Structure 1
Amino acid sequence: MASGRENFEVQVLKEGRWVTESARDKEEDARALAKKFLSDKSCAGARVMRNWLNRDGSMNETVLFEQTQSPKGESVVRINPIESAPAICERPRDYFGLESRMAMNRIFRTYLEQVFLTPTELLHNAKELSRIREKDSLVPSAVDLVATLQTKGTEIPTKQRRDDIFAALDQIYAQARRADGLKLPQIGERFSDLFEDLAGKGEDGPEYLAMVVLSRDLIGRRNWVGKLDQLCRLALGEPNRQAGLLLDTVIADVLGANIIQEILGWQPALGSAIVAMLDLADGKFDCSKSEAQDTTEKLNKLFGQGRLPGSRHVMIERAMRQLKSSNPLSRNDPGKEMEEYQKVLVRLLSPGGLLAGAEAAEALTVRGTRFVEQGGATGRRAAITNTVHALPDKATGVMYLAELSKTGFADEHLADIVKQLDLVFSARVIGELTRRTNSPKERLQTATNAFNAALSSALPDEVKKKVTAHIDGVLERFLVDENVIEKLDHPTDHIRDRAVRLVKFAGAGVLPEGKALARARERIIKLLRMPNFDARFVEGISDPEKQQKALRDFHQLLVKAGFG
């Protein structure tokens, strides 16, 4: 280094990522080398980064020069195939929705990686929309694929659907053209400030124009980490909920790009990477492993605060796609394939069931088919059985099978799913239905979650009724055997304490609608019908105002518990 504390990296763009090719002590030498790389028409881009070593050992990086170009001699850019399409968009605005943009992200993945654009930037910028429409046969091929998938099994003619999509795209392009002719402000410290600045400007509303401004800002950032960092910075400082949700939609777009490896850092196996994605979606990721630590810390914090619902959906969906894929969970050590599978399985379990519901049930079962020798229907049947046996208790097995009934597996294997549900009928007491190591409250909650999962499943009605009735009976027996109601309503305690405990228990959601909950409610009604209940309830409270407050608070508890 000329000063001992700085140098200049020369990076080139390869397969959508910046790769360091060389370093120079002088800026002019680095710029000259970058331009030399660009003179090769097969080079997609080059840039110069200034690295400055701080006294505390940290490094500051600054982009001094950056230029991208379309490499000559490159192959025709084609769409990436997808197996299913989102629901039909009825209005042009529907194409801006999360599921539609997720589909765009996957179909146009190759193109978007070349130009470093998200679907949001594409939809809000007339120049970029014009470019993609002129790029080979990308848009017609994508429209044809989506129209075919959306009309399959329906009476809608594919040509009609194709024409409808093209008409909507024309309207989206016209809207972007209108915005292109407006002089709009730049983003300040808060994204929501734009709403007021843009009020009354143009005919498309401040929210749309704010997204145009955001897209213009992001288009100038020619790498995924740079875009993500700007979005996370804005989201962390955004007090306006609606503005925060808009930022979430674009963060979700970025997370659909080839950025996950940089965010997660080195992972020993695909199984570990899937677990890391799920950890990040819950805001529990160890950011020290990331290659973009500062940005990932911001992202992890936002996930942990529950401020990125759309992005969380994208992260979990991406993890489930990897779990369903044919890629080994442990490429370097095939002997650890089952161990990695079990790690993912455990991570997907939560007190409420499977983290991603039907999507997780399907992904686990698809992956499970790779552990059996048989193929076809026999292999799928074996995978369902093996997955049930791999779960920690019978209640979780019910939740898994209930979710699996909502997937394509039920088309051919509904009878097998119903047969596996027989496991619940062998559980006569709650210790046989749920893990004995759990607390009483956790056991009640797990059993109730199994009840609710069966009730909301796609199982035949008679099967639902049989399974839920059995679980309800197990719950009622637990209340009786453990004297749960009697302990809550101990006769030596003050009637106020007894009543509050019973009502809180009935309203805690640890019991489903059924015989068990009815038993608790009967005891509450019995208490409420006692002579002079109100007077006895406030005994020991001398202040009349505090007496009234105690009665009001208790009434609110009753309403929340369904006694309104």
Structure 2
Amino acid sequence: MSDTTFEVMVQRGDRWIIHSTFDVEKEAVTEAEKLVKTKISAVRVIRNWERGDGRHIEKVLLEKEGAGEDQDDDVRVSSIEEAPLCETDNDLLQKESRATINRLLRKYFEQEILTPCEVMYNYQNLRKLMFHDTLMPTAVDKVAGLHAKATEGDHIEAMNNLHGAIEQLSARAREVEKVDLPAFEDATITEVRDEIRRLNLAEDTDFLTMVALTRVLSSTRNWVGKLDLALKVKGDEKDEAARKMIDDVIADILGSPVALKELLGSSRSFGEAVTLHIDLALGRAKGNRGAADDILELLNPLFGSGLLANSQEAMFDYIVRELKSANSLQRHESDPDPLDGILERLITEQGVVYGTPMVSAIAERGARLRNVGGPRALIEGVAEINSRLIPNFRKLTWLIAVANSGIVEDFADELYEMMCDSVQDMRALRAFCDPEAKPRDKMATVKQMNDVLAASNVPDEQKAEIAGKLDDGLAEYLVREKVIERIDNPSLHLRKRAYMLVQFCSSGVLIEGKSAAMARKRVVGYLKQPNFTDKLVDDIKDMTTKEGTIRDFYALLQRSGF
């Protein structure tokens, strides 16, 4: 790469801000002439080159006045409530830090169509941000305030730490700016990374790979194009390091609301947008009109298989913030309420997707629906969400997740009362399970809820009470539906009946208690029959086969805990 660059700078108040950088003077002058006709105060073209002794020299080649400044184009920092501590350049590069920077400088990134990765690994992009009016000092001051508050430390010291980390990162990016790195022309990130490793450069290989990748990403001036490029170069999914780099890039891109809109298409309401975001994170998104369907076809299986763990986490974090916001899910009060669909996606037999942060966000949304604030806000929100969940196993799933989160510890009695209500009607499992589910699926649901309860933070005494209700309900269902009788069909040979009963006992659909005892009692009854072993194989003539069958059956008994 050339040691000479040409910077196009625009005047903002008393400050000059880098607008763009070119390697060719003619291209820089052409861009400046275009800018003169827009709402800016003035424009400059500066030649910037590095001498042999390492000194940087600047020379103004062109300066013209513009049509006048438009104050509405000011880019300011966005509000944030927390920020991870950053004392080194590597701290800044971590996913939590990049996500915070993405929110803090959202307006700037959307204006420039850039991501945190493209700024941090690209010196020209980083320098442009650093000299963009007072944006960087303001951002550092805001984050330093949060750091000082979180650590009960000194604000100035926190600012100095941040500036130090930024200077470290800037120095690294500047050091490799002119390094000739492999291009991504028909090459995967794994191939480029291997080629960079063979160069034996002083800088870290992964850092240099990201520098090479962000060079080509920065030249792509739309969000879907960036996603398309990232997916084209992703290469072998078994290459863990390469996959993580692509994951980081995609996480940064999807941190932009504009990028999500371009990917998924326009939504008719905020609630529909949230639903689309959840489906994307779960790997089953179907875009609206104008969506980039070809990109979604590539992203869905990657999200669904967990190969984009950082991107998935970033999406769920984004969804948490959406649910916590004051935005109404419905565009008009008469519109269908999208909350039920959102809850259906987020609350499953396994628990609440994304754990405590999502539990808290859903509860806050419930409190907002009831228009309740103060100390009772969250417990009222929990009750509101509970009232919307059917069948009852989803209520219990939600309430156990709430108990695990600890967000309503002061209202434990009310939470327990709601749990008891969720298992009050266990008759035929009609209210507790999906009425359309098959018998085995219903039993599996009850067993699953018992397992979730056993692993929960619910107090032991309360846990035992609710577990007893689940076991009673399952045992009653076995009797009512004659489940054991259907398996133990007298028209079948004893061996088949015995095998099916033992397999049923170990199938994972029974609770250790009444329900499991009922099935085991029937098996033990067979084992106690006189000459049981002879009857088990009385239809088999070959002695070797008889012995093998008996061994197999007793091995099954052992595996099943008999």
Alignment TM-score, normalising by the size of structure 2: 0.72
How many Å apart are 1:472 and its aligned residue?
A: 4.2
Cα 1:443–1:144 change in 2 (3 A) is farther
- Hey, what's the Cα distance between the residues in 1 that align with 2:172 and 2:517? 57
1:125 partnered with 2:122? yes
- Hey, what's the Cα distance between the residues in 1 that align with 2:31 and 2:169? 38
How many Å apart are 1:228 and its aligned residue?
A: 1.2
1:184 partnered with 2:181? yes
1:467 matched residue in structure 2: 466
Q: For residue 344 of structure 1, what is the amino acid of its counterpart?
A: I
- Hey, what's the Cα distance between the residues in 1 that align with 2:500 and 2:397? 32
Cα 1:119–1:490 change in 2 (3 A) is farther
* Runs of 5+ consecutive residues of structure 2 not aligned to the other structure: 1-29, 42-65
1:196 matched residue in structure 2: 194
Cα 1:40–1:414 change in 2 (3 A) is farther
Task: Check whether the contact 1:79–1:141 (CA below 8 A) recurs between aligned residues.
Answer: yes
Residues matched between the structures, number: 500
Task: Check whether the contact 1:424–1:467 (CA below 8 A) recurs between aligned residues.
Answer: no
- Hey, what's the Cα distance between the residues in 2 that align with 1:513 and 1:555? 21
* Runs of 5+ consecutive residues of structure 1 not aligned to the other structure: 1-32, 45-68
Task: Check whether the contact 2:364–2:377 (CA below 8 A) recurs between aligned residues.
Answer: no
More divergent stretch after superposition (438-447 vs 268-277): 438-447
Cα 1:194–1:392 change in 2 (3 A) is same
Query: Equivalent residues in 2 for 1:398-413 (5 A)?
Result: 398-407=396-405, 409-410=407-408, 413=411
2:112 matched residue in structure 1: 115
More divergent stretch after superposition (367-376 vs 35-44): 35-44
How many Å apart are 1:497 and its aligned residue?
A: 8.3
Instruction: Output the aligned Cα RMSD.
Output: 4.6
Identity of aligned residues (%): 28
How many Å apart are 1:328 and its aligned residue?
A: 2.0
1:210 partnered with 2:209? yes
How many Å apart are 1:92 and its aligned residue?
A: 5.1
- Hey, what's the Cα distance between the residues in 1 that align with 2:130 and 2:438? 59
1:316 matched residue in structure 2: 316
Cα 1:164–1:38 change in 2 (3 A) is closer
Q: For residue 439 of structure 1, what is the amino acid of its counterpart?
A: K
1:281 partnered with 2:278? no
- Hey, what's the Cα distance between the residues in 2 that align with 1:555 and 1:100? 55
How many Å apart are 1:193 and its aligned residue?
A: 1.0
- Hey, what's the Cα distance between the residues in 1 that align with 2:424 and 2:377? 26
- Hey, what's the Cα distance between the residues in 1 that align with 2:465 and 2:149? 36
Task: Check whether the contact 2:505–2:516 (CA below 8 A) recurs between aligned residues.
Answer: no
Cα 1:541–1:300 change in 2 (3 A) is farther
- Hey, what's the Cα distance between the residues in 2 that align with 1:327 and 1:555? 60
Cα 1:206–1:168 change in 2 (3 A) is same
Q: For residue 259 of structure 1, what is the amino acid of its counterpart?
A: A
- Hey, what's the Cα distance between the residues in 2 that align with 1:526 and 1:150? 68
1:327 matched residue in structure 2: 327
Cα 1:241–1:555 change in 2 (3 A) is farther
Task: Check whether the contact 1:506–1:520 (CA below 8 A) recurs between aligned residues.
Answer: no
Q: 1:98 aligns with which of 95, 98, 103?
A: 95
How many Å apart are 1:133 and its aligned residue?
A: 3.4
Cα 1:101–1:35 change in 2 (3 A) is closer
1:391 alignment partner, SS class: coil
Cα 1:468–1:147 change in 2 (3 A) is farther
More divergent stretch after superposition (238-247 vs 465-474): 465-474
Query: Equivalent residues in 2 for 1:227-376 (5 A)?
Result: 227-235=226-234, 238-242=236-240, 243-257=242-256, 258-287=258-287, 289-304=289-304, 306-331=306-331, 333-336=332-335, 339-372=337-370, 374-376=372-374
- Hey, what's the Cα distance between the residues in 2 that align with 1:459 and 1:288? 42
Q: For residue 82 of structure 1, what is the amino acid of its counterpart?
A: I
Cα 1:289–1:506 change in 2 (3 A) is farther
- Hey, what's the Cα distance between the residues in 2 that align with 1:178 and 1:269? 47
Task: Check whether the contact 1:233–1:298 (CA below 8 A) recurs between aligned residues.
Answer: no
More divergent stretch after superposition (167-176 vs 433-442): 167-176
- Hey, what's the Cα distance between the residues in 1 that align with 2:555 and 2:123? 58
Task: Check whether the contact 2:487–2:500 (CA below 8 A) recurs between aligned residues.
Answer: no
More divergent stretch after superposition (123-132 vs 105-114): 123-132
Bigger CA radius of gyration: 2
- Hey, what's the Cα distance between the residues in 2 that align with 1:102 and 1:513? 45
Q: For residue 303 of structure 1, what is the amino acid of its counterpart?
A: F
Task: Check whether the contact 1:77–1:136 (CA below 8 A) recurs between aligned residues.
Answer: no
